[in-house]
Copies of this chain bind each other. A is one copy, B any other.
Amino acid sequence: MYQRNTQQRQVILEELRMLKNHPTAAVLYTQVRSRLPKVSLGTVYRNLEMLYQSGIIQKLEFGGNEARYDGTIDQHDHVRCVQCGRLDDVDLPALAFLGGDCNDFGGFKIIGHRFEYIGICPQCRTKEENQTDDLPAER
């Protein structure tokens, strides 16, 4: 089951690694289109999934939101802004053990974990202070 090294695939991976902020597929798509104006969103999804399955990139999907992608595979956790969806890195070595030795819970074979802080990012915080009214919808 070999994979070809297409131009699209290369550009998608390069641009993903360029964008440091864990872009969504849609954001990456517009970015890639600046170099390959004819790519389709379907191709972006297909390649992201392929790269993810090959263990080359990370897919960071949580709670109904759009999935976000990380061009590296080093293990670290994240903070997600409830309001705008922004996703930042968090270095929290204390969590390393969680994926480790504990590999049986009620018969489950544990193969990993997902962790994420939920919060409000700096931008959204200042927005909140300026306009005290209009609480935005939760989701």
Contacts and interface: CB of A to CB of B under 8 A. Distances in A.
A67 interface: yes
A98 B114 CA distance: 13
Contacts of A51: none
A79 B64 contact: no
Contacts of A107: 121-122, 125
Contacts of A88: 105-106, 108
A38 interface: no
A99 to B, nearest CB: 9
A18 interface: no
A61 B65 CA distance: 9
B114 A108 contact: no
B114 A116 contact: yes
A18 B99 CA distance: 32
A110 interface: yes
B117 A112 contact: yes
A119 B114 contact: no
A53 interface: yes
A80 to B, nearest CB: 8
Contact of A108 (B67, B79, B109, B138): B79
